[in-house]
Amino acid sequence: MEWVMIHKIKALHDAGGGLGIRAIASQLGISRNTVKKYLRMDENTINHKQDCLDRSKRMDDYRDYIIHLLGEFPRMTAVKVLLRLQKTYPELDVSYRTARRYISQLKTTITIKQKRYYEPVLDMVPGMQCQVDGGELNVRIGDADSMIYFVVFVLSYSRMMYVGFSSRHVNTSAFIQMHDAAFCYFGGHPEECVYDQTKLVVLHEQYRELDLNQQFHAYATAAGFRIRACEGYDPESKGKVEAGVKFVQGSALYGEIFDDWNHLECYTKQWLEEIANVRIHGTTRESPRLRYERDEQAHMGHYLTPPYLAEERSNHQTRGVDKTGLLSWKSNKYSAPMAYQQSRVGIQVEGAQLVLCDLETGWEIARHGISQGKGQIIKNNDHYRNKQDQIADLELAIIQQLEMNRGEILCALLKRTSPHIYKDQLTGLRSLLNRYEMPPRLLDRLCDRSQLTTSQIRDYLDAYAAHPDWLDNACPAPSYVDKHLPKSPELMRYAGVALRHQEVDHDMLH
């Protein structure tokens, strides 16, 4: 500690009556210049250094939150960090200079990685995080055992809890309605909600990049909270709600008998008010409601139910989309985009067309000509495949099979030559690469062309397969000659001279 070293030096020197500079440096194991520097300091400077150190030490209480901010926004300036700190912790009293020094030092001692979707936010920050997870349990309702599905919401700071129920597997619309009810119950929304990789939130994850459920993402955007997904098979990152699910199953539902669905919902609301949110929590040692009302409620975001959830769409009928992506309307079936399988969509008639709409946003998602027959299936094939995803997968497979730079060049050549049939060209090339071995020298030859098609690549590969020594004779563009190349080296060289002129002319024409 710097100020401790200063006092040691001052004490050993004793205003000139003690040890000299050389002796002090030797005894403390520091340089003579350091001893001289500290001896020149007056009392006011020393006190100021100690005061700054005390302030820096006080910032240690907020270290984890600062690390969280820098982890999510690595280029955030010290000024911005300090503003966020003061907004969240009004009692913090440090100067900009002290904060900048502390944050700069912190950046040198921690590793700030790329933005992560999996890192849980600290529960020391009120109003920051809500953890969400689902469960199911077989309970007695009336005279029969019924499987019920529920979703638990737990605020990370206060441990305030809400539970929503469904009589069947929770779909995206029901999931959104449960969020709306939870935020109304809390009286506000947190900055972010944490989920596992359920299809209600994340459709696909690769390389830590998330393809979100667009219906739910639209709601989160309108409501004003961020979506954070845990890494797969990592329940510990949302342990608070994992414990909450077990608490609901064991304390609230297990062993209970309900007269009907309304009895179940009323019982659960009473359980939340009289048990779950007023008990002394085992970790915080406080009542969740007391802790929420005292410390967290003021930090929650203002929440209003998005208008599209509150309004009745009187001009829309609704239809369920089955697992094959089809909905029924007037004795026929019509396709909906893959994202809406096993959910509900709005439908309306516009002239001779049937328009499908997202129930949450009202946006048009599909349009079909109305069939006058019966028992017909009217499909848009694009609803069953994403061409851009298929193209990306094919490009990735080709690049992985070839040397990376050359693979990218080859794909770019095919796209430039045949943009309208690019996917088919990639499919053909993928098939060729599975059947042929691509010699590196031939790959270089192909990449040097100005235009290229898959059929030309096939001809090159056929020529090489028939005559492996063909490349040694520098004969270009076998796609312009008969596949049965001259076997004589002299004739092959002669053909190569003629073909060079043909290739140049061909390139010029294009």
Per DSSP, the three-state class of 476 is coil
Q: Please give the pLDDT value at position 476.
A: 54
Q: Please give the pLDDT value at position 109.
A: 62
15 or 319: whose pLDDT is higher?
319
- pLDDT value at 261 more than 70: yes
Q: Please give the pLDDT value at position 386.
A: 62
* 164 domain-assigned: yes
- Binned at pLDDT 50, 70 and 90, residue 14 comes out as low
* Intra-chain end-to-end CA distance of the chain, in Å: 74
- pLDDT value at 95 more than 50: yes
Last residue of a domain, one of 366, 384, 402: 384
392 and 378 housed in the same domain: no
93 and 154 housed in the same domain: no
- pLDDT value at 272 more than 90: yes
Q: Please give the pLDDT value at position 303.
A: 92
Q: CA 503 → CA 28, 334, 477, distances in Å?
A: 81, 50, 7
Q: Please give the pLDDT value at position 498.
A: 36
Q: For 450-488, where are the alpha helices, taking DSSP H only?
A: 454-466
Last residue of a domain, one of 330, 351, 384: 384
Q: Residue 386 burial (CB < 10 Å; 0-12/13-18/19+)? A: middle
Q: Which residues pair with 439 in a beta bridge?
A: none
| 413-433: average pLDDT | 88
- Binned at pLDDT 50, 70 and 90, residue 132 comes out as very high
* 139 domain-assigned: yes
| 191-218: average pLDDT | 81
Q: Which residues constitute the domain of residue 270?
A: 129-299
146 and 242 housed in the same domain: yes
Q: Which helix (H) or strand (E) is 507 found in, with range?
A: helix 489-509
* 123 domain-assigned: no
- Binned at pLDDT 50, 70 and 90, residue 65 comes out as confident
The predicted-structure confidence for 143-177, as pLDDT tens digits, reads as follows 778 888 999 999 989 999 999 988 778 888 889 98
Distance CA 168, CA 150 (A): 9
- Binned at pLDDT 50, 70 and 90, residue 15 comes out as low
The predicted-structure confidence for 453-506, as pLDDT tens digits, reads as follows 999 999 888 888 887 776 666 555 444 433 433 344 443 443 343 333 334 333
| Phi, psi (deg, nearest 5) at residue 232 | -55, 140
185 in Cβ contact with 292 (< 8 Å): no
Q: Please give the pLDDT value at position 116.
A: 40
Q: Please give the pLDDT value at position 74.
A: 74
* 122 domain-assigned: no
* 495 domain-assigned: yes
265 and 333 housed in the same domain: no
pLDDT, averaged across the chain:
77
471 in Cβ contact with 489 (< 8 Å): no
- pLDDT value at 392 more than 80: yes
Q: Please give the pLDDT value at position 73.
A: 72
What proportion of the chain, given as a percentage, has pLDDT over 90? Answer: 17
CB atoms closer than 10 angstroms to residue 48: 11
* 257 domain-assigned: yes
Structure tokens at 336: 């909906």
Q: Which helix (H) or strand (E) is 355 found in, with range?
A: strand 353-357
267 and 159 housed in the same domain: yes
Q: Please give the pLDDT value at position 284.
A: 85
Q: Please give the pLDDT value at position 159.
A: 92
Q: Which residues pair with 335 in a beta bridge?
A: 326
290 and 156 housed in the same domain: yes
197 and 271 housed in the same domain: yes
15 or 452: whose pLDDT is higher?
452
- pLDDT value at 4 more than 90: no
178 and 274 housed in the same domain: yes
270 and 351 housed in the same domain: no
332 and 203 housed in the same domain: no
- pLDDT value at 280 more than 60: yes
120 or 422: whose pLDDT is higher?
422
399 or 78: whose pLDDT is higher?
399
Q: Which residues pair with 320 in a beta bridge?
A: 344
- Binned at pLDDT 50, 70 and 90, residue 419 comes out as confident
CATH of the domain at 136: 3.30.420.10
| 93-112: average pLDDT | 72
Distance CA 288, CA 292 (A): 6
- Spatial neighbors of 476 by CB under 8 A, at least 6 apart, are 445, 496, 499, 500, 503
pTM: 0.44
* 177 domain-assigned: yes
Distance CA 476, CA 461 (A): 12
135 and 249 housed in the same domain: yes
- Which of 482, 471, 472 is closest to 446 using CA atoms? 471
157 and 218 housed in the same domain: yes
- Binned at pLDDT 50, 70 and 90, residue 444 comes out as confident
* 427 domain-assigned: yes
| 324-344: average pLDDT | 86
The predicted-structure confidence for 173-202, as pLDDT tens digits, reads as follows 889 989 999 999 999 999 999 998 788 888
324 in Cβ contact with 342 (< 8 Å): no
Total tally of structural domains belonging to the chain: 4
| 391-398: average pLDDT | 87
Last residue of a domain, one of 109, 144, 160: 109
Please, how many CA atoms are within 13 Å of residue 482, restricted to the half-sphere of its CB?
5
| 212-238: average pLDDT | 78
127 or 50: whose pLDDT is higher?
127
